[in-house]
Amino acid sequence: MAGLRAIKGGRYDEEQPGDYRTKLKRHKAMNAYRTIIFIVLILVIVLIIYARFESHVYTGYEILSSYERIAPDSQSDLRLGHSILTYSHDGAHCVDANGKTVWDQGYEMQDIRISVCEGTVAIASYNGRDIYVLNETEKLGSFSTNLPIREVAVAATGRVTAVLNADNATLINTYSPTGDLLYSGQMHMSGSGYPVDIALNPSGTLLCVSFIYVDAGTVKSTVAFYNLTEVGDNYTDFLVSSYDYTDLVVPDVGFLDDSTAYAVGDERYMFYKGSDQPESIGEHLISDEIRSVFAGNGYLGIVFRSDDTDVKYELSVYGNSDNLVGKYDINFEYTDVLFEKDDLVIYNESSCIIYTYRGREKFNDSFRNGVRLIIPTDNAYRYVLSTNSSIDIVRLN
């Protein structure tokens, strides 16, 4: 059979099979080269866009939409997921970003004890006996305790732990949102000490308690972890791990996620890791005065008074692996710190500064109206601002 033919210059030329295969390889190599060049060009364009986005500094904001509200100073606002929880002594209500009321809960309380975990809240009062459990979409339940309440902690699932005062002991009980008693423990001041603070992880499977007691005239603290699952059934009183500290008061404990906990004392702060039996993974001694502690989205932020005369405060932010994310200057009297995925927001009613976690300042400006609360949205640099008279959806520009 004749070899393969190709028409060239108006005539047939004989072409050997080897020549054809060589040209086919060159053609495939050229296509692969073009594909690589195309991918590289796309990556370069993406990197240029990202670099411009990262380096862009916002100098103001515009209001995209606004909804009227009336929020007197006697009421307080808290973030509840992506909604606004407003509460006072005679009730609470939740509104979404569009100003629509999701639920309204009436009660009569004086010394309110409130705990928020992600989009769930528990509301009670010191020495009261009623607990209300709600989230950003519905009321989950309410119930009454048989003893006066001292403190409450809530999980994202709606599980609630309450510290109750008995005559000769303190009870630490954990309930379902509707009041079913799930776990109960009894503490005595002469033995385990008095609970100073409590926290549940988001799933409600781990309980952290900070105890204080006096031993031979020395103040001591214990940070204890209770596993409220079948794992804890294998331990006395569900206690799976505990850590003792001498000459230390630990008034603040909490969780950064389901398996990472923190405890902040007057002379040091500590991190713990473990979904079943938390273990200590780091301690940091404190030389400066702690002014505030903030936690959220897997980050812990601790504000110190600055040693620099040109800076009021310094914010140290840690991740959930006991890693220092960065330190950030604050030069105004802040009221809140909000942790987002890529940025942290520091603000008060009139001023706001936004840093990337790498320390780049993205925004530093004043608000036109007094801001009570900032809530992030799913869109980058778009926020919900809660004021006394409105709920504004804004975009930085």
pLDDT one-digit tens code per residue, 163-220 = 999 888 899 999 999 999 999 987 655 556 889 999 999 999 999 999 999 888 899 9
How much is the pTM?
0.85
| Residue 353 pLDDT level (bands cut at 50, 70, 90) | very high
Give the C-alpha separation, 131 to 207, whole Å: 18
What band does 85 get if pLDDT is binned at 50, 70 and 90? very high
Is 172 in contact with 198 (CB distance < 8 Å)? yes
Q: What CA–CA distance (Å, rounded) separates 389 from 391?
A: 7
303 contacts 312 by C-beta, under 8 angstroms: no
Q: Say whether pLDDT at 71 is over 70.
A: yes
Q: How far apart are CA 350 and CA 356, in angstroms?
A: 21
Gyration radius (Cα) of the chain, Å: 29
Q: Which sequence spans correspond to the domains of the chain?
A: 4-48
Residue by residue, DSSP assigns 159-188 as -EEEEEE-SS-EEEEEE-TT--EEEEEEE-
pLDDT (0 to 100) of residue 16: 58
256 sits in which H/E element: strand 252-257
